[in-house]
Structure formats: structure tokens, C-alpha cells
Structure 1
């Protein structure tokens, strides 16, 4: 059992200590463990922390730690990753949002910080048009290796997950239940496939039931961890529009698929477009241009073309370390090169001399070295 995980989880079991207070306490104390170890006098010096909250922490600390111990054991038994907001595996896009959960439960193999992440949401009762468009959207993401995020619900959600699985794209289902409860249960077979090609994510602890109020909270995670939220079909008053509104409030990109003006499930998407809360999605090119993926690809191609080509077989392991650093930065001071390549200065001097003889590196004034080519 990880001691860090124990105290991280325990913080979430302290009553009346929400997201903002948790971050404040950890920031001032240094770590979750130090929050529990801090004497009342130290806690009282933290801005916004009063006697009532200090008593709340000290009175409930033992019980919170006992609860956390059970959760950590259950997580280990069920291969659930506990992602505190300070974890490098915690979704970085979500971390920037003020009301992001401080702890997430994740089952699966997906990278929650993948370069490109798109969420797709919509009605639970899509039309044939809505289903076809959803599948086409996912197919259009295939060449960009996008992580597809949705809510595992009926309709557009599960169509998105299924299409991603078929396209070979990673896909993550954000749930309103605990990590041990797949809802709806009929989607369990897809959920199990997603564990190998993405995963399941939730802020609810083990045993958490998918009660109605948890779905809007779930939606903020879907919106917050994505680069753009695409709404396929949605009624004028629906949970899907809540997700779009949340994404909009986070200054995230929102796109909506225009629909039949006579269809109730197109009222929401058409309203988003009309009210300028969403850009129009008609083809993959719309998304690519909105997020500047085309410019990114072009810049990457130029960088690759400019990078000198060399055969790794012609160089030693230490020489390759230096070349890899210089390939990124083109030019470095010897001291910086030493720690970036993880080579001692004395060894680096010998390596650089060898690379100079091979015509790969040029020495510059001031102990600087430049990659040739």
C-alpha cells in the first residue's frame, strides 16, 4: 500500500473539505500527509482556515484514514489507479480547472494526457442520421490518433466508444458511478474492451451509485479533459447541453452538428450554433482547422525535414544521448548538455570530441556546442 495514496484518499473523506480547500491545505502544508500531521496552530495560519475547519480535520482524521485504507486495498485488488491531482498521470487539461476533482479513479491502459483528446456527446435516443454522423466523426479522427472521450451512456455516447474501438482509437468512458459499477450494465462488454484500449474514469469511490445529481458533475470531467467537445444531437433541454455549456465556460472549444429543423433532437445543436456557443461541424476539416491540427502537422513535417538524418549504428550509446538532445535544441552550453544527456562533464568532453571528429558537432565560443546539418 502506497503511503502517499493513503493520505491522498483520506483527504477526500474529510467532511466539508472540498476541492478548493484540499488544494489550499496541500499547497501550504506541502503534502497530504503533512496536512494530517500539522498541529492546529499551523493550520490556523493558513488564509481562510478557521477554528471550525481545524476541529473538523482533527476530529475526523482517524476515521478518514481508516476509510482510505480500505479504498487503497480495494484499488490494488481491482487494479484501479488512484490519481491525485498532483500525479503526473492526472489529466493535465482537467487540472487547470478550478472545480476539477482532486482525486480520480482510473481503470485501463489509456494515456489521459494524450496529445489530442476529443469528447463526443449527444442524445440517448439518436436518429439514424445521428448514429451515422457520430461514426463518421470518429472515423475522421483515425489518422490523428485521437483519444475519444464520452460518458458510456445510451445513444451517442456508446456509439462513440464503439466506433473508436472499431477504428483502433483509444477511448475513455467517464462514469457517474464508482469504478466498480458499470452503468448501464448492458454496456459492460464494451467497457471491458475499453480497459485494453483506453479505460474507465470516475471521481466516485467504490460503491458509488449513479444517482441523477452525479451526471452533471461527471459532465464537467468530460468537458474539462478534452480539447474540444462535439455535440451530435441534443434536445433543447438536456444533459448534453449542460456538457456543452460547461465546456464553453471553461473556454474550451465546442462544436455542434447541424440537424433537421423539424427534429426535436436537433433543437439543442442548432441552438448552440445560432447562439454562437459552438462552431459548426460538417466534416473532419472543420475540427482540424478549429484546433490548428493542420498547422501542427505542417510544423512537425518541417521540423522533421530540418532534423539531420544519421544512422544510430554509427554512434555509441553516449554519443546518441548527446545527439538526441542537440536534435531538439540545436545548440547547448556544455553544462546544460551534461544534465540533459545525463553524462558527467568529464565523460561529455570525450564524447563531444568524438562527435567533432565524426563531423556531427561544432564547438562554439563560451563552451557551447552546435549540431551540424
Structure 2
């Protein structure tokens, strides 16, 4: 990208009172972010939704560009990837959100062109039952290879990220601060795994420290990146309910796990269901059915999703998922199992519709 345009985007991102919706309107009106800064105040103020007060940023463009230059130095020094809303490498789903960021930043190995992206949110005080449900849910949905998006907070968020990693799924954490920080601090222990299995996204600058008021901005990206948002547990108020509302505003599906009426952290989910703001989620098949994912997969993949496998069969399944196809002897050697035992397991998995043999003693997932 033209360096001047990138600096102008960064500067416009920091223009007081403007925000992403008006920033897009300005770019659309004048042709580019750099062209916006070539205008005088009356020209900007005349645009619908602006006015003199909001247009005042143009009088401080020197200051805004100095700040933008410092951010650009950080981006270049740390090789931070950036995505601009009108470019092809920007999240396609986020492009449909009117308040999606004009530019966001990422680090890691993130590939958002996967057709299946789920946001999973909920309370920071996750209960044992909810944790068990989430573990079962992610393990059962894993054969569809969805991307799991969450907010890297305590409770539901961090458990969703960890379970995604355990199931070899890409997972993306959307942060409420710059990419040079981790909050909560003790989640730094998972940063390396996150970077290897997905990564981090934020539209905040590295100079933006953690602040609770940033949660709303963070939550709109969580909702916007995904085809659907799943609320695992929530009290009567909380950020996960805000995320659910945002997802609904973006015309995305919302799911909520019901609970007992007297449970504090089931109140929010029960209300979402009661008010018809969310589908009731009681089993993994609900997601595939309502989102139409099962129609996009052949029958064999559906069998993989819900068939019961023992621990050793799961090892073979995960191995073939990663390898695509492999020889019987190589599978046995890599898994450190006797060949006859692997052969027997593969036969059983073939009968279950999970694997299929290929010529030359090769095996692959069905």
C-alpha cells in the first residue's frame, strides 16, 4: 500500500469523534484517506453526519500524522499485518458490518477464508457444567474444522481458545488493547500456542492500553468475524450479551445454552432464548442444522461429526486429518502402535464411515 495512504488511514482512525462509519463515508466521498486530509474544514463539515465539531480533526492533522508515524514504526518493526476494509485480504464477513474497522491489525497464522467461523463467548466465572458442555461441543464440531473466535478473557473465552488448540483448530483472539500487550497478564502463557494455531486481532494501536470502555469495540469485531455467535453462560448483564446483540444486528445467527432458571450464569442465556434473540443450543447438531453446515458437507463428514470413537481411534482420526492420506505402516510407526492393531482399528473406523481405504494400503478420512 502507498505509505501516504497507510499513514492517512492510521491518522483517520485516531480522528476524535469520527469513528469507522464516518471515516468510511469520508473516504467514499473524497476517494481515499489521503484525499480526506487534503480537504478544508468546511468541505468536511458539509458532509452529512459531520458538522464543524467532528470536522475539527482536520485542523490537527499534523498532530494526528505524528502519532500515525509512531504507530507505523511499531507495525514495521514488529512485522504486524494490517487489513484495510476495501482490500481483498480484509475479512469478508467484517466488510459487511457498517461499523467494521477501517483498518485492523493481526499477528500469527490467521486464515479467515474458512467458511465456518464461530464466536464463543460467555461469563468469566464459567461453571463446571458449562465447561464440560463446551469441551464436548468443540470436540464434536472439530471435524468440520471451524475457526473459533473469542476475546481471550477469563472463563469461557480462554477455555474456548484452549479447547480449539487441543482439537487442532484455528483460533483467533480479538483484543481490547494493542497487540504489544496481553490482558489478563497470566494469559501470556498461551500466547505462543495461539500464534501457532491462529493468532490475535485488534483495531487498537500499540499505545492504547487496556480500558474497559474498549470492550464494545472489541466485541463488534468478535461478532462481525463470525457466521454465528454462541453464548455458553451469562448473567443478566455482561459483555457476552452485548456481543450477541451485535451479532443479531449484523444478521448473524446467535445460539445460547439454556440452564436452570435459578442459576445466576444461566439467566442471560435463558433470556436470549425466551426473547427469541437466540436459538437454544443443547447439542452440537443444532449448529450444523440451523446454519446449514450439514448441507455443505457430504454424508461421510456428518458421520465423522457425531460418531463415537475411542481414544486410540481419535488419535488415528487426528493423524489422518493432518496427513490427509497415509500408508498403514507409516500410521502405525508414527503413532507407535502395532501394525495389526492399527489395521484392526482402521477396519472398524471404515465400518463406521469415518475412514476409507485407497489403493496401495493408503487410508484417508471418508
Corresponding position of 1:240: 240
Corresponding position of 1:203: 203
User: TM-score, normalization: structure 2?
Assistant: 0.76
Shift of 1:275: 1.8
Is structure 2 residue 30 aligned with structure 1 residue 35? no
Contact 2:16 2:54 in 1 (8 A): no
Alpha-carbon spacing, 1:124–1:45, altered in 2? closer, same or farther (3 Å) = closer
Give the whole-Å Cα distance in 2 for the aligned partners of 1:169 and 1:178.
24
Shift of 1:214: 1.4
SS of the aligned residue for 1:287 comes to helix
Alpha-carbon spacing, 1:268–1:16, altered in 2? closer, same or farther (3 Å) = closer
Alpha-carbon spacing, 1:45–1:154, altered in 2? closer, same or farther (3 Å) = closer
Alpha-carbon spacing, 1:274–1:17, altered in 2? closer, same or farther (3 Å) = closer
Is structure 2 residue 262 aligned with structure 1 residue 265? no
SS of the aligned residue for 1:255 comes to strand
1:324-343 residue CA offsets vs partner (Å, 9 max, x unmatched) = xxxxxxxxxxxxxxxxxxxx
Alpha-carbon spacing, 1:57–1:217, altered in 2? closer, same or farther (3 Å) = closer
Contact 1:181 1:207 in 2 (8 A): no
RMSD (CA atoms): 2.3
Contact 2:41 2:59 in 1 (8 A): no
User: TM-score, normalization: structure 1?
Assistant: 0.75
SS of the aligned residue for 1:37 comes to coil
Corresponding position of 2:112: 112
Shift of 1:114: 2.4
Is structure 2 residue 218 aligned with structure 1 residue 218? yes
Shift of 1:160: 0.2
Contact 1:222 1:243 in 2 (8 A): yes
Give the whole-Å Cα distance in 2 for the aligned partners of 1:204 and 1:141.
31
SS of the aligned residue for 2:163 comes to helix
Is structure 2 residue 294 aligned with structure 1 residue 275? no
Alpha-carbon spacing, 1:86–1:287, altered in 2? closer, same or farther (3 Å) = same
Shift of 1:268: 1.5
SS of the aligned residue for 1:294 comes to helix
Shift of 1:61: 1.4
Shift of 1:46: 4.4
1:159-182 residue CA offsets vs partner (Å, 9 max, x unmatched) = 000000111100001111111111
Structure 2 spans left out of the alignment, 5+ residues: 302-366
Shift of 1:11: 1.1
1:218-266 residue CA offsets vs partner (Å, 9 max, x unmatched) = 1121111111111111112222222112222222101111223332111
Corresponding position of 2:126: 126
1:61-116 residue CA offsets vs partner (Å, 9 max, x unmatched) = 11111111110110111222222222322222122122222221211111233211
Contact 1:138 1:163 in 2 (8 A): yes
Shift of 1:44: 6.3
1:97-143 residue CA offsets vs partner (Å, 9 max, x unmatched) = 22222221211111233211100111111111111111122112211
Alpha-carbon spacing, 1:206–1:43, altered in 2? closer, same or farther (3 Å) = same
1:261-311 residue CA offsets vs partner (Å, 9 max, x unmatched) = 33211121122222211111122211001110111224999xxxxxxxxxx
SS of the aligned residue for 2:37 comes to helix
Alpha-carbon spacing, 1:236–1:52, altered in 2? closer, same or farther (3 Å) = closer
Corresponding position of 1:177: 177
Contact 2:260 2:266 in 1 (8 A): yes
Contact 1:148 1:171 in 2 (8 A): yes
Range with bigger deviation, 81-90 or 63-72: 81-90
Contact 2:123 2:265 in 1 (8 A): yes
Give the whole-Å Cα distance in 2 for the aligned partners of 1:125 and 1:49.
42
1:197-235 residue CA offsets vs partner (Å, 9 max, x unmatched) = 111111211132221211133112111111111111111
Shift of 1:184: 0.4
Alpha-carbon spacing, 1:216–1:28, altered in 2? closer, same or farther (3 Å) = closer
Contact 1:126 1:156 in 2 (8 A): yes
